[in-house]
Structure 1
Amino acid sequence: MPALIAGTIITIALAIVSLFVGVSDVSLTSLLSGGFDGRPGEVLLISRIPRTLALILAGAAMAISGLVMQMVVRNRFVEPGTTGTSESAALGFLVVTLVAPGWPLMAKMVVAALFALGGTALFLRVLRAVPLRDVLLVPLVGIMLGGIVGSISAFIAYRTNLMGSLLAWNMGDFSGVIRGRYELLWIGLVGCVIAYIAADRFTVAGMGKDFTTNLGLNYRRVMFLGLVIVSVVSAVVLVSVGSIPFLGLIVPNLVSMLVGDNMRRTVPWVAIGGAGMVLACDIVGRLIRYPYEIPISVVMGVVGAVLFLYLLLRTPRGAK
């Protein structure tokens, strides 16, 4: 518990730093002298606070969706980005943009979530048909499936002159987040709450179908609930800020190394860790080439790749 409190304090400190990092002069001095009616106050209310909230919500939601995915698939090296879920959500968003460009963003998000659900279900179906003798084969299958779905999306986008939009959806970036353009991410918070409520069920489901059934739980319903949470969160984050690589894979694994595999206990850790990591990476992206920004997906990709290699090297071959 003290460690969790310390992590929460660090995350809050990163959130406060995020409010005052940027090109526009927003500081305590400028706020006190000009008030909230001046330019610094407007920047804080319209841009900085929404951006910081978006970072926290997206980081926590994507980290927990990765945790749920790992429980459902029973593999530590899967997340929405390595199972074809994110690519399927992007394909759905692309299709609805072409077919019904005038639909509200919420309706487009629902379509993207349905495509993500279908892509994840296809991934699980492929897993049942492939003999898996190594823990690393599961994410490899997902990466190959995601590559196929991504290729279909790229072909459609190229033929319809939407390559720029597709690249923007696949590139996580919070620089365009302002008030009125991040509120869908609160749906991700709802997904986090549901995941916490059903944490014990997911923990049991992670032990296998037979074990779950013997304890009186409906294995299919638990699986479906997990897939819905992952699909909706992936779609919401993609539609709002783009794709954030490795987050749902790295944070749950690091938390598992510290506090174990009981999901009821790890959900708060994963949420705080995901939010803190996204905040830290975004601050680095804003400072490393100041006054220009590096998209968070680039920073997170570098950090995540290093940590992913570490996890791979420390995992025994054939480990479950």
Structure 2
Amino acid sequence: MGRKGLFLVLFLLSALSIFIGVKDLMIHALLYGDSQQWLIVATTRLPRTISLILAGATMSICGLIMQHLTQNRFVSPTTAGTMDSARLGILLVMLFLPSASTAVRTLAAFIFAFLGTMVFLGLSRLLPTKDPIFLPLLGVMFGNVVGSLATFFAYQFQLIQNMSSWLQGNFSLVTKGSYELLYLTIPLFFIIYYFAYFFTVVGLGEDVAVNLGINYSLVQTLGIGLVSAASSLVLIMVGTVPFLGVIVPNIISLTYGDHIKQTIWITALYGSLFLLICDIISRIVIAPYEVPVSLIVGIIGSLIFIYLLVRRNRA
């Protein structure tokens, strides 16, 4: 499907997302300027749809960059300890600075996500094998250790209920005034696009990067910083969305190749489409109630992930 077709599908799914909900929206009422109907659109439906588009694109691009930086197809912020480290940072801020603003919590999440990911990269260099499956396994184990530490503190200080909201991606509480930080992911997209060539070369290995005059360590650190910042924004606003950063970049790579500058926007589009579809399913499967979108993403994503693993072993 061409880009125009993808944008058309994105527009149609966005419109469908706006009209699905507990309260029915009527097109004729909106056309005649019904204030109550427009209030619902402006305060809940449109913010939710925008946040789905931005979060889906962000996590997919973060996965794409992480996979190039680590030269591993199964690494993403959710399998490298990035999100778990960010949660620990948020929890510590809630313990020691309970009245801290969202900006302070986001900064703490970014710092811990960055440090946690750098620790993961350091641990990855100690692996005796080049089997690509071991690296994400290491990341999951490292993330579980960090997550267990966060859970321990959460239980000790009775914050487990607050922490649970970061464990599951949930867009049901997104309203006007509570999601706007996600707009900061847009300039991050352009920064990542600007450095896309360098990330692509780094993905070819340290020797190739050095031979082409690129500072391998500096570019890798920059990429981890951008991924940490973007992932922290998504975590603060809507929680964790599993598998998205793994499966979408892999699907794009199979179809469009590995050059980041040529695939970054198509990756963002597919990520947004995938998350929109999962969110729509989460709202209609037990309507008028809904399940967390992370549950739907986890089910569909795990099936695709298994397929990718099987396909790799057969290849």
TM-score (norm 1): 0.96
Match of 2:168 in 1: 171
Query: Distance in 1 between the 2:191 and 2:25 partners?
Result: 36
Per-residue deviation at 1:50? Answer: 0.7
Amino acid at match of 1:61: T
Structure 2 letter corresponding to 1:118: L
Q: Secondary structure at the match of 1:316?
A: helix
State whether residues 246 and 300 of structure 1, in contact with CA within 8 Å, keep that contact through their aligned partners in structure 2. yes
Paired with 2:155 and 2:189, the residues of 1 have a C-alpha distance of: 36
1:266-305 → structure 2 map (5 Å cutoff): 266-305=263-302
- Residue 145 of structure 1 is matched in structure 2 by 142
Q: Which amino acid aligns with 1:16?
A: A
Q: Deviations over 1:100-154 (max 9, x none)?
A: 1111101110110100001100100001112123110010000000110010011
CA contact under 8 A between 1:132 and 1:138: conserved in structure 2? no
**Offset of residue 180 of structure 1:** 0.7
Equivalent residues in 2 for 1:174-213, closer than 5 Å: 174-213=171-210
Deviation at 1:96, TM superposition (A): 0.6
Q: Aligned pair in 2 of structure 1 residues 229, 297: CA closer, same or farther (>3 Å)? A: same
| CA distance, structure 2, for counterparts of residue 98 and residue 256 of structure 1 | 42
Q: Which amino acid in structure 2 is aligned with residue 127 of structure 1? A: S
Question: Which runs of structure 2 are paired with 1:233-244 in the superposition (5 Å)?
Answer: 233-244=230-241
CA distance in 1, matches of 2:274, 2:130: 33
> Partners in 2 of 1:254 and 1:27 — Cα distance?
37
Secondary structure class of the residue paired with 1:167: helix
| 3-state SS, counterpart of residue 29 of structure 1 | helix
List aligned pairs for 1:28-39, cutoff 5 A: 28-33=27-32, 35-36=33-34, 38-39=35-36
Q: Equivalent residue for 2:26?
A: 27
Residue 127 of structure 1: aligned partner: 124
Deviations 1:290-313 (A, max 9, x none): 100111100000010000000000
Q: 2:38 aligns with which of 24, 37, 41?
A: 41
One-letter amino acid matched to 1:130:
L
Tell me the amino acid that sits aligned with residue 15 of structure 2: I
Query: 1:248 is matched with which residue?
Result: 245
Question: Could you give the per-residue CA deviations for residues 225-258 of structure 1, whole angstroms, max 9, x where no partner exists?
Answer: 1101110111111100000000000100000011
Indicate conservation of the 8 Å contact 1:74/1:206, yes or no: yes
User: In 2, distance between residues paired with 1:45 and 1:315?
Assistant: 45
The yes-or-no answer on 1:94 pairing with 2:94 is no
**CA RMSD, Structure 1 to Structure 2 (Å):** 1.2
Does the aligned pair in 2 maintain the 1:247–1:274 contact within 8 Å?
yes
Deviation of the 1:97 alpha carbon: 1.0
How far did 1:4 drift? Answer: 2.0
The reply on whether 1:5 has 2:4 as its aligned counterpart is yes
Helix, strand or coil at the partner of 2:193: helix
CA–CA distance in structure 2, aligned partners of residues 40 and 265 of structure 1: 41
Is the CA contact 1:24–1:40 (under 8 Å) kept in the aligned structure 2?
Answer: no
| TM-score (ref. length: structure 2) | 0.98
State the match for 2:55 in structure 1.
58
Q: What amino acid does structure 1 have at the position aligned with 2:258?
A: D
Q: Deviations for 1:20-72, whole angstroms, at most 9, x for unmatched residues?
A: 00011212122124x15x21110001111111110011110110000000010
Partner residue, 1:14: 13
Q: Structure 2: 5+ residue runs without aligned partners?
A: none
**Identical pairs, percent:** 41
Q: Distance in 2 between matches of 1:17 and 1:193?
A: 28
Letter in 2 for 1:69: M
Letter in 2 for 1:3: G
Q: How many angstroms apart in 2 are the aligned matches of 1:63 and 1:89?
A: 18
Contact 1:251 1:274 in 2 (8 A): yes
Distance, in Å, in 2 between the alignment partners of 1:143 and 1:4 is 34
Gaps of 5+ in 1: none
